[in-house]
Amino acid sequence: MRSCPSVSPETSPSPSDVTAARGSVRTEVRVGRPADEVWALVGDPTRLAEWFPGITGCSVEGDQRVITTGSGLSLPEKILTVDPLLRRFQYRITAPLFAEHLGTIDVHDLGDGTSLLVYSTDAEPSVMALVIGGAAGTGLEQVRDLLEGGA
């Protein structure tokens, strides 16, 4: 077993050393459906408009996806990970609006026929993480409602 060095208050970064340029948001929802069923929806890069609010369409070519918003704005993305074994989807918005972005969707099998659907986003500028994270929370609820037969 490796030992990790301890962090003392003297070596910890102070709040003034930490910048707020990059933001991180995570949201989750329990879905009353098996993980493979949830993954079939959220793991398919072409189906984003079915569940993510404000997205009216998307096109995928290789590892490139372009989403279209309700206002007509097109945002290019690079698909980084589509892993059906882990049930993980990751992408990066490559539009100049972002200095940095990473979105991650994970579907966890809870072992009782239900799933935990988790959406994480890291973005710079940090305010974009809040915008995407807020919409993603609504999107996860939409996934739940679609798959559980609500809404």
pLDDT value at residue 130: 86
- CA dist 87 to 8, 33, 109, 113, 140, Å? 38, 14, 9, 15, 15
121 in any annotated domain: yes
**What token pair was written down for 33?**
């459906």
pLDDT value at residue 131: 87
Cβ atoms 52, 69 nearer than 8 A: no
62 in any annotated domain: no
pLDDT value at residue 20: 66
Total number of domains constituting the chain: 1
**What token pair was written down for 78?**
């690079």
53 in any annotated domain: no
Q: For 81-98, give one letter per residue: b (16+ CB within 10 A) or e.
A: eeeeeebbbbbbbeeeeb
The DSSP 8-state label assigned to residue 14 in this structure reads P
CATH of the domain at 39: 3.30.530.20
User: Mean pLDDT, 10 residues at a time, over the chain (151 residues)?
Assistant: 48 55 92 98 97 95 96 95 98 91 97 97 89 91 92 49
- CA dist 104 to 32, 50, 87, 150, Å? 21, 18, 10, 25
11 in any annotated domain: no
116 in any annotated domain: yes
pLDDT value at residue 7: 45
pLDDT value at residue 5: 47
Domain that holds residue 123: 22-47+79-148
pLDDT value at residue 115: 98
34 in any annotated domain: yes
